[in-house]
Structure 1
Amino acid sequence: MSIDLSRRNFLRGAAAGAVTAVAAPVAEATPFGPREPKQLPPKAVGMLYDSTLCVGCKACVSACKQANGMPVEQPAHLAAWGEGTWDMAEDISGHTLNVIRVYQNGTMEQKDREKDGYAFVKRHCLHCVDPSCISVCPVSAMRKDPETGIVSHNPDACIGCRYCVYGCPFNVPQYQFDETFGQIAKCQFCNHLQKQGKLPACCDVCPTGASLFGLVTDLQAEAERRLAAKPGEMYTFARGKLGGDRPSHEAPLGEYQPHLYGEKESGGTQVRYLTGVPHEKLGLPALPDHSFAAVSEGMQHTLYKGMIAPLALLGGLVFLARRGVKSHHDEDPSS
C-alpha cells in the first residue's frame, strides 16, 4: 500500500509541477496573435494590372512562355481542336506561369459590367509582401529579394515537399506532376530579364498598358489617381513601365471597383488590381489584411517561448499516466 501511495503522490506531484511550469511562461508570454508584419522594401518593384484596359489578346501569355522556356499546353478536351498549334491553357500550371481568364455573365453586352457583361483578369504570382510560401518552405527554396521584393524559387534547394503549393492563399505555386523529376513552377517576374535591364515579358508586350511595371509606391499612387478621377474622363495611360519612355495612349477611364486589390490582402502584395467587376467574381479570393505567415509564425513563437509546448505535452502525458494508474487500482480489489 505504501508503494502505491508513494507512486500516486509522485505522479500527482509531477503533474502539479508540470502545470506550474507551463503556467508561469504562459502568463509572461505574449498572447497568441500575429507577429509583426514584414514591410515592403523601399525599392520594391511590382505591377499594376488594370482589368478595364485588358483586351484579352493574351500577348502576355505568349511572351511569358517564350521568356521562360515553357511549352505549349492544352486541356485534353481542346487538344484535338488545336492539334498542338495553339496554347489554350485554362489556368496556371507547372507549364504555364501566366494566364488570362474571362468573366462572363448573361448577354455579355458590355465590357467590365457585372451583369450582362464580361471582363478579363490576369492570373499569376502576386509576390506577397509577407509570403506564406517562404514561411512554410523548410529548406529556403522560396526566397524574397531584399531589394526588389520579388519572390523566386530555387529548384536546386527544393526537396519537392510542395508545402508552398498548400500554403499559398492565391494557389499560385504549381508542381509538375507530369514530369519524372518535377519541379515547382511560378512566376518569378522575369527576374532574369530585369537583371539585364529589361521589363518583365508580360509588361513589355502589353499593347494597352493593362500590365504596367514600376516601383510599387509609384504604382500605388497611379492607382489612386485613377480611382479618384471621374469615370469616362479621358486619361493618359502609360505602357510598359510607369515613367518610361514609351508612347502613352489616351482612353476614357473605366468605372472601377472602389477597392485596390492587393493593397492589403494577406499583408499586401506587389501586384495590384484595378477592376470594373467585383474581385470575387474574377476569382480573386477575399482575404484578411494580415498575412497567414504572420499568424502561424506568431503562434509558433509564442508556443515555444520558454518551452511552453514541450512542457504542456509533458504535463498531458503525466496526467494520462496518473489517470491510468488510478483506473488500474480502482479495477483491482487487491490494491
Structure 2
Amino acid sequence: MELSRRTFFKFAGAAGAAGLAGRPAAAEASAHAPVNTPSVLVDTTRCVGCRGCEAACAEANHLPGPEKPGEETVFESRRKTDVHTYTVVNRATGAKTPEPRFVNTQCMHCLDPACASACLAKALEKTPAGPVVYHPERCLGCRYCMVACQFDVPKFEFEKAAPYIQKCSFCAERQAQGLDPACASVCPTGALTFGRRADLLEEARTRIYQNPGKYVRHVYGETEAGGTNWLYITDVPFEQLGFRTDLGPTSPPELTRTALAAVPLVLTLWPPLLMGLYTFAKRREEASKSGAKEAHHD
C-alpha cells in the first residue's frame, strides 16, 4: 500500500493521542498529603463489638441504622461496607483468645489513595486535612475508583437512576468544625483513638513494646499501600481480621507514576521516529518505481 503523507500524519496523530490517553491523574506530580494528618488508632484488644461506631456513623451521615442491632447473629458472616453502611464491625475468625476479637472496617483514607489517582474527573480527592472526600458533581460514573481501591471500599448505587459512589468521608465536615469523627467520639472502651498520625504511631509502638507477647509486632496501616490514616494493632493475625497482608509499602499511584513519567519522552521521540520511517519508506517506494520504469524501457 502506498504510504501517503496524509496517512502518515493520521497514524502519528493517533499514536500521540493514545499515549496521552494513557496518562491518568496518577501521572501528575501530585503533592502527597502531609503524613501527620488526623488519624485513628484502632486497638482490637479493646473492642467489645458493641457496634456503637456503626450507629454513630449512620446517624452522622443520615443513613439507615445498623443491621440487627444488639444481635450476635450479625457476626456469623463477614460483612462489607455498602452504599447504606459506611462502617461495619466484624468478628475475627479462628481467634484463639479468651474473648472474641472484633474490628471495625471503613475507608482507610490512604496517604496516597489509588481511588483518587484513578479518577479521571477528580471526583475523589485527598484533602490536605487528611480525609479522602467525594465530589458527586464531578463524577462520571466510570467506577475506576472501585477497581483501583485495594481495600474494596467505594460502592456504587446501582439501583438508582442517577447513581453516585458512596463511602466513609472520615467525617470531614465534623473535623472541619473541630469535632472528632462520629465513630471515634462514641467508642466506650477506647478502642478508637483519634489524633495526629505521628502521635498515634508512637502510642501504638508503646503499647506493643510495653506488652511483650500480647500484640502482633506490627502497626497495620503504617506502611501498607504507602500508609493510611487508619492504623490498627491487634493480638491476632491480621488475616483473621479480614485484612490484606499482601500489600507492599509503595502506593499503587507511585508505581504507575514511575512508568508514566516516561510518557512525555516517548511523545517527544515518537514523531521524529515515525518521520524517519516515513522518509525511508517513501524513498524505497520511489526507488522501486524508478527500477520498474527502467526495466520497462529495456
| TM-score, normalising length: structure 1 | 0.67
**Counterparts of 1:316-327 in structure 2 under 5 Å?**
none
Post-superposition CA distance 1:23-67 (Å, at most 9, x none): xxxxxxxxxxx9989655165101001111111100000100000
- Please give the alpha-carbon distance, in whole angstroms, between the structure 2 residues aligned to 1:163 and 1:41: 25
Residue type of the partner of 1:48? L
Count of aligned positions:
258
Partner of 2:240: 281
SS of the equivalent of 1:156 reads helix
Letter in 2 for 1:52: T
Note the residue ranges of structure 2 that are not aligned, 5 or more in a row: 13-26, 72-76, 286-298
SS of the residue aligned with 1:94? coil
Q: What is the DSSP-based 3-state SS (H/G/I as helix, E as strand, rest coil) of the residue aligned with 2:138? A: coil
Measured in 1, the distance between the counterparts of 2:58 and 2:78 equals 11
Q: Which one of 36, 51, 64 corresponds to residue 58 of structure 1? A: 51
Check if 1:302 corresponds to 2:258.
no
AA matched with 1:160: G
Describe the superposition over 1:102-142 as per-residue Cα deviations: whole angstroms up to 9, x where unpaired: 11328x6623xxxxxx4212111111111111111111111
Report the residue type matching 1:226 in the other structure. R
| Match in the other structure for 1:70 | 63
Distance 1:141 1:209 in 2: 34
Q: Percent identity, aligned pairs only?
A: 37
Superposition deviation, residue 221 in structure 1? 1.0
Partner AA of 1:193 in structure 2 = R
> For the Cα contact (< 8 Å) 2:112–2:126, is it kept in 1?
no
Instruction: Answer yes or no: is 1:219 the counterpart of 2:179.
Output: no
Q: CA RMSD in A?
A: 3.6
Asked if 2 retains the 8 angstrom alpha-carbon contact of 1:35 and 1:298, the reply is no
Q: Aligned residue for 2:225?
A: 266
Alpha-carbon contact 1:143-1:153 (below 8 Å) kept? yes
Describe the SS at the equivalent of 2:136: coil
Alpha-carbon distance in structure 1 between the residues aligned to 2:269 and 2:223? 32
Partner of 1:298, secondary structure, is helix
Which of residues 111, 122, 127 in structure 1 aligns to 2:109? Answer: 127
Distance 1:309 1:220, change over 3 A: farther
**Residues 109 and 229 of structure 1: CA distance in aligned 2, closer, same or farther (over 3 Å):** closer
Note the alpha carbon deviations across 1:131-190, whole angstroms, 9 max, x for none: 1111111111111112x2211111111111111111011111111112222211111111
CA distance in 1, matches of 2:66, 2:188: 24
Any idea what the Cα deviations from partners look like across 1:249-303, whole Å, max 9, x if unmatched? Answer: xxxxx81111111111111111111011111221211201001001112211213
Deviation string 1:189-212 (CA, Å, 9 cap, x unpaired) is: 111111222110000000011111
Distance in 1 between the 2:191 and 2:142 partners?
35
Give the SS at the match of 1:305. Answer: helix
Distance 1:110 1:36 in 2: 49
Q: Secondary structure at the match of 1:110?
A: coil
Match of 2:251 among 291, 314, 325: 291
Structure having the larger proportion of residues in helix: 2
What is the rounded CA distance, in whole Å, between the counterparts of 1:189 and 1:280 in structure 2?
24
Is the alpha carbon distance of 1:53 and 1:293 closer, same or farther for their aligned partners in structure 2, counting shifts above 3 Å?
same
